[in-house]
Structure 1
Amino acid sequence: MQNIKFIKDYKAKDKLRSSFNELANHVFGISFEEWYQKGFWNERYIPYSYVLAEKVIANVSVNLLDFMVNGEKKSAIQIGTVMTHPDFRHQGLSGKLMRKVLEEYENKCDFIYLFANDTVLDYYPKFGFEVIEETQFFYDNLPSASNPTTLKILDGHDEMDLQFIYEFAKNRVPVSLTFGSTNSHSILMFYCLSVFQNNLYYLEEDNVILIFAEEDETLHIYELIAKEKCSVEKILHKIVPLGIKKIILHFTPDSENLLNVKKHPCKNGETLFVKSKGELSFPDAFKHPLLSQA
């Protein structure tokens, strides 16, 4: 253990960043290199790692975000990319990194949170995290657009389109004042690069960027990015293609958009854990925006 060193915020160090990517690929099958090279890995994503002989062997990453929660601005830390090399598991390294993060940030923000899969539900309560239930919002009776508005297709492989999305998202308003994120544009770009390269659209007449995908007869609305407050339902009425029977929102709609919306408990194999400072009250029904999830 004496040769294991702690290091953080080393994205500019090529050798360490490469090792970080190797571990992420080994554990999760992902890489952050393109995200870094294109300038989207900013100062709001900070890895906290243990290193042995210039190799990253364990990591807990910090994402600095802001939220609107019940109409009030709150600062938050999202913990993600929790990983340990198989050769160094069961040595308490992730727990030590978690404690370092909590010691540094728990008095500097309103809440700290993370998402965990069903295999580690007993782990995070040891650090003071509590489970908070999410809600899935959906429509099953919204009519299709009789004459859908023409959308500009944005290309997730095109440098200019990616930069347009990045700069646009920097200046977004939260999709919801009930529960919506800001300063999450860096995480958003990871999704644009790695997951939704072919699902990016610009609705010029409303100055809105949309990320959505059609699956069977269901339309998944993953993100709605606007610089001014807008009506989700108004936008949907312009874009929903014929044949769609259900629309799932992967974020929280504001109260004025709830006239036709339905909801049920969110069951997606991940559990939201929150550790808050003081008496922070979350909405009775909310969905953390999926594309702000690290």
Structure 2
Amino acid sequence: MEYAKINGKEYQFVVGYGKNNELRKGLNDLTKKIFGFDFEQWYQDGYWKNQYIPYSLIDGDKTVSNVSVNLMDFKVFGEEKRYIQLGTVMTDPDYREQGLSRVLCERAIADYRDKCDLIYLFANNSVLGFYPKFGFKEVKQCQCVKKAVAIHTDVSVKKLTMSDFNNRSFLIDKVTNAIPISKVSMRANAELIMFYCTLFMKNNVYYLDDYDAVIIAGFTEDTLKVMDIFCTKDIPLDSILNALANESVSRINLFFTPQDTSSYETILFEGDETLFAMRKDLLLLKSNQFMFPILSHA
């Protein structure tokens, strides 16, 4: 058992304990308190495996602070990369301003600094001054958008029901065997996709049988927001988008960067979070227009 002494107070320090029911409950309690969701159903469904590694501090029997390491494999501009994403950064309100998150971030960075091409995270606007203290640099992301063109298509669109085990298994197969459609493409991480598709986006999963393609997308007023596409065939992106866009759609926003951006307007992405990164691929990302796929956020 390992302990960390911070400002004269001793905390139990635990790492990678997903299968421990008691410790997992502590993490879920804190996550629900801070973010309003938890990981329990994701775990019970069998999707929390080896790529999500929480680093936590415990006071007595209460988890009070956490930073999670996410092992991420990407294909970035044609090259295979191992990236580390820090996520679920949180501290119980009663324990803030004590340096707990700082200790956890330093430990996670030290553990993986020499084992990856990039360490990165997405920070909300309230903590933008926190992460540069560790050496992180802000990286701008760009989004591809375009006007929708009304084209009649006979391609059938089926909505997948994420409460159905067979539909979930079908989705996992498509994600696992998909060919990269984006310049920065997450690989071998179906469990993270399932986290989104069984929780936040369970009503936004569509299948196009003609193209053997799954689309994760939502409609907001006149805009089609495409989170990601998983296709086993080399199908033109516009063909897939035209099949899903209905007559009320006048604009398409992509939340990934397609291989061919020539038919899109590329704009500065202004979301609720800011990307910070460090390590050797920092310059590569800063010198290109790109977006991390939104479903790769942990």
Unpaired runs of at least 5, structure 2: none
Partner of 1:115: 122
- Structure 2 CA distance for aligned equivalents of residues 102 and 173 of structure 1: 31
Would the aligned equivalents of 1:106 and 1:277 in 2 still touch at CA under 8 Å? no
Structure 1 length normalisation: TM-score? 0.94
**8 Å Cα contact 1:62-1:80 kept in structure 2:** yes
2:195 paired residue number: 190
CA–CA distance in 1 between the matches of 2:150 and 2:50? 42
SS in 1 for 2:198: helix
Does residue 269 in structure 1 map to residue 272 in structure 2? yes
Whichever residue aligns with residue 167 of structure 1, its letter is D
Q: 1:224/1:95 Cα in 2 relative to 1: closer, same or farther (>3 Å)?
A: same
Match of 1:101 among 97, 108, 119: 108
Contact 2:157 2:243 in 1 (8 A): no
Q: Are positions 1:290 and 2:294 aligned together?
A: yes
**Identical-residue share of aligned pairs (%):** 36
Query: How far apart, CA to CA, are the structure 2 residues paired with 1:279 and 1:148?
Result: 44
Return the alpha-carbon distance in structure 1 between the equivalents of residues 153 and 143 of structure 2: 28
Alignment partner of 1:248 is 2:256: no
Q: CA RMSD in A?
A: 1.5
> 2:169 aligns to what SS in structure 1?
helix
What is the Cα deviation at residue 193 of structure 1? Answer: 1.1
Over 3 Å counting, the alpha-carbon distance change for 1:132 and 1:279 in structure 2 is: closer
Mapped to 1, the partners of 2:170 and 2:264 lie a distance apart of 31
Cα distance in structure 1, aligned partners of 2:227 and 2:96: 35
Contact 1:172–1:226 at 8 Å: present in 2 too? yes
| Paired letter, 1:275 | M
Residue 184 of structure 1 deviates from its aligned partner by: 2.8
Partner in structure 2 of residue 218 of structure 1: 223
Equivalenced residue count is 290
Distance 1:167 1:20 in 2: 29
Aligned pairs for 1:68-217 (under 5 A) are: 68-140=75-147, 142-176=148-182, 178-217=183-222
State the match for 1:13 in structure 2: 20
CA contact (8 A) 2:118 2:281 kept: no
Offset at residue 168 of structure 1 (A): 2.4
Quote the offset at 1:148 in angstroms: 4.4
SS in 1 for 2:104: helix
* 1:89 positional shift: 1.1
1:173-230: CA deviations, max 9, x gaps?
3321x22211232211111111111111111121111111111111111110123443
The answer to whether the Cα contact below 8 Å between 2:68 and 2:88 also exists between their aligned partners in 1 is: yes
**1:235 pairs with 2:230:** no
